[in-house]
Structure 1
């Protein structure tokens, strides 16, 4: 009897050893996500309080739940609430688009900016404004989505995706950088040729949340929601793709369909966000990396964290841009560039980038 019980006891110990780390990691992820949501809430209130005219927490709180004709009430409701809500919409879009691109391409250095997706959307919007004189958000959102989609497909084909083998991460990155440089040059040329049409879009070209109204955001919200839902649905399958296409297929994953849906998600997220806020750089690169350093290479969790961390970083960057040159401000796209560039240098100096 003793001999028969001993193996079962050893088996129980082995199972307990395997279960405890998994439970501890899951608990850490849940606590971390709750803490990130708390920090995001704090950043939202800071965004409402800090600006050319600083406001106290009491003033902001009262303005949220009461009506008034005061100047402070007007500032909060006509300026700071709209730009904060825009940040809460486009931040998750850029962060999640970067996470999806990195998972699909198995390239830890990929993001909508480096791979030229943002540049494709920005070029299409510039074409709509400069050539067709389209200035309404509900109209040129379609140009932004088309530009993001065409740029993504072109980069994949140029990088070698038209052949029998899938393109390597290096090939896709080089193709994306080349595509982004070319499209940025054409966009700049369009703005110089028709400077009057682009006079009101100077901040948009570097990425900005200033002077964005909720009426500009509503046409884009459906596209962002669909893009987020698609990304969350395909997230578990992307864990299998991280081991390679052949291994994923052997596990029952339809790799081609996942890539198609991933492409649609990237187009909706990057194209929609770029249409309203401009091509904000590095956000889609640094957020998934920061998340993976903390929770590990698990795509569903990476996607959930990206939805929270990206708007947090975007709001904090926007706040910094308002403070450093008060009463003026620096567009948020420039601030994210200053923050993201050192992170990119750190990644380059690391012997091994965060595993996917």
Structure 2
């Protein structure tokens, strides 16, 4: 008879030790990779800057040096927006997968990004809004309304365990909202069309410190809210009945979680455009590294999603220099195959 069958405690201790080691290695690897990507983001672009000069721009800033200006005024805020937006999308995706018990849930697939996008484009066209300080509120409202619509169309409040119904509702609403967005853009003045063109592809190019400030505040509030819900999310993923048996207020948790998703996804979409799949991929990688405990899944999802979006932005700069490919397009190329992999893994073949 094996040691595990005779005495389960040593096996459980070994399993916990391996899990802790995997979490530690994953965290160290993720932080190091993010740090390297930050350096690459500051140094690489249409004009490559040596690392020595990059560090010099950070430590001994000379406003007369054009290389220092590029680093301080263009690449630092761009890098911060990519990291913060990725972090927000990762946490939002993890929350949505928990409350719907749906491995395919994420802001892009469930129409949240599309709702924020159509609201932002409407604000730009009808009200002449040009800065994030103004149209971010439209993004929050659009994300919230789209999310609520999908949840009720897919009956997620009654049957969140049915992933196909929810994905179909999100896909249908996303198509409708994308059509509305296209109609608005086509009938907009050329100035609005030019403004929306890069944003709608999911680009962080040209973002300034004003965008960083608003995004940072929204992300801070959203992440704190998500962290406070981590224990309840662990209960909800076990099922509605089990969650209630454990004393969790399901309705209140849903409301707070949806507000957090609206805040995170709305701010990220306003800052970086409708970026898809980042919130889908990151939580799955996080669970592979940490297990199902959402006290670990949430921070790891934030870390890996930030790596994904920043890595996509850096990759988009170096593929066809001096031109750029938007980060949202790069992530779609990665996320599409991953989406198919998840569908096959979970065998989502029943309506």
Which bracket does the TM-score occupy, shorter chain normalised? Answer: over 0.9
Q: Over alpha carbons, which structure has the higher Rg?
A: 1
2:115 match: 120
Secondary structure, in 3 states, of the residue corresponding to 1:266? helix
2:169 match: 175
| 2:252 is the alignment partner of 1:253 | no
1:5 match: none
Partners of 1:187 and 1:195 in 2: how far apart? 14
> Which deviates more, 12-21 or 30-39?
12-21
Partners of 1:176 and 1:125 in 2: how far apart? 19
Deviation (angstroms), 1:217: 2.4
**Alpha-carbon spacing, 1:158–1:11, altered in 2? closer, same or farther (3 Å):** closer
Deviation (angstroms), 1:216: 2.1
**Alpha-carbon spacing, 1:165–1:318, altered in 2? closer, same or farther (3 Å):** closer
Partners of 2:121 and 2:41 in 1: how far apart? 29
Partners of 1:28 and 1:284 in 2: how far apart? 22
2:285 match: 290
Question: What is the aligned-residue RMSD (CA, Å)?
Answer: 2.0
1:141 match: 136
Alignment of 1:48-63 (within 5 A): 48-63=42-57
For each residue in 1:115-172, what CA deviation from the matched residue of structure 2 results, as whole angstroms up to 9, or x when unmatched?
000000011111111112222211111110011111111111111257x655732221
Aligned counterpart in structure 1 of residue 234 of structure 2, from 228, 239, 263? 239
Partners of 1:217 and 1:242 in 2: how far apart? 33
- Structure 2, unaligned runs of 5 or more: none
| 2:188 is the alignment partner of 1:194 | yes
Aligned counterpart in structure 2 of residue 70 of structure 1, from 48, 51, 65? 65
CA contact (8 A) 2:107 2:279 kept: yes
CA contact (8 A) 1:99 1:303 kept: yes
Question: If the length of structure 2 is used for normalisation, what is the TM-score?
Answer: 0.93
Secondary structure, in 3 states, of the residue corresponding to 1:279? coil
CA contact (8 A) 2:106 2:277 kept: yes
CA contact (8 A) 1:160 1:167 kept: no
1:110 match: 105
CA contact (8 A) 1:237 1:258 kept: yes
1:43 match: 37
Deviating runs (4+, > 4 A) in structure 1? 10-13, 164-167
Partners of 1:296 and 1:166 in 2: how far apart? 21
CA contact (8 A) 2:22 2:289 kept: no
Deviation (angstroms), 1:260: 0.8
Number of equivalenced pairs:
344
